[in-house]
Amino acid sequence: MKRVDVRLSIPAVAPLLDLIKSVADELRTELAVPIALAEADADLAVVWREDLLESQRDDCDRLFSLFDQEFFSEGVISFDRENAEAVLRACAALRLRFRKTHLAQITDDTLEALEASSNIGNWDPAEQKAFACFMFLDELQKIILKYLDPMSPEED
């Protein structure tokens, strides 16, 4: 099975993990994207929401399992086909939540064009840290898609 090891800077990443974890804790009880079931059965909506929440929690748990003893001693996290899709979903859910909460005052154009990096020094420290988390999660997604695209056939 193909495995990708990524070496990260512990001093740069470790401080981000606390904020990312706090956002992930919010996602334990709230969906990153609320569901809307027009004219749907209320019982179905409850069951569907709970299933989605459970999946979202499991995905976030898979993401945080990357930051284990090996990460804190060696600075290495590993991706493979078994965790790639769950980590992609967790990163997406977390980025959506950061966008909705911590980065709500930043325009979409600024985030999408990454112009924020040129004037990020003008932001308050909380926004700077949230933006760093947002970009870190984005980079994890890009690494997975580049080397372990879960939609492509597995190579031998």
User: What pLDDT was estimated at residue 48?
Assistant: 87
User: What pLDDT was estimated at residue 2?
Assistant: 86
User: What pLDDT was estimated at residue 156?
Assistant: 43
Contact 106, 127 (CB under 8 A): yes
User: What pLDDT was estimated at residue 83?
Assistant: 94
Q: Please list, in sequence order, all residues whose beta carbon lies within 8 angstroms of the beta carbon of residue 31, skipping any fewer than 6 positions away.
A: 49, 52, 53, 56
User: 147: which 2 tokens?
Assistant: 């080397």
Residue 78 DSSP label: E
Q: Please list, in sequence order, all residues whose beta carbon lies within 8 angstroms of the beta carbon of residue 76, skipping any fewer than 6 positions away.
A: 5, 6, 7, 8, 70
Q: What is the pTM of this model?
A: 0.89
Amino acid letter for position 135: M
Contact 19, 134 (CB under 8 A): no
Q: Please list, in sequence order, all residues whose beta carbon lies within 8 angstroms of the beta carbon of residue 57, skipping any fewer than 6 positions away.
A: 27, 28
Measured CA to CA, the distance from residue 90 to residue 96 in angstroms comes to: 10
User: What pLDDT was estimated at residue 122?
Assistant: 78
User: What pLDDT was estimated at residue 150?
Assistant: 61
For the chain, give the percent of residues with pLDDT over 90.
66
What are the per-10-residue average pLDDT scores of the chain (156 residues)? Answer: 91 96 96 77 83 97 96 95 95 97 88 66 88 95 87 58
Domain extent listing, the chain: 3-148
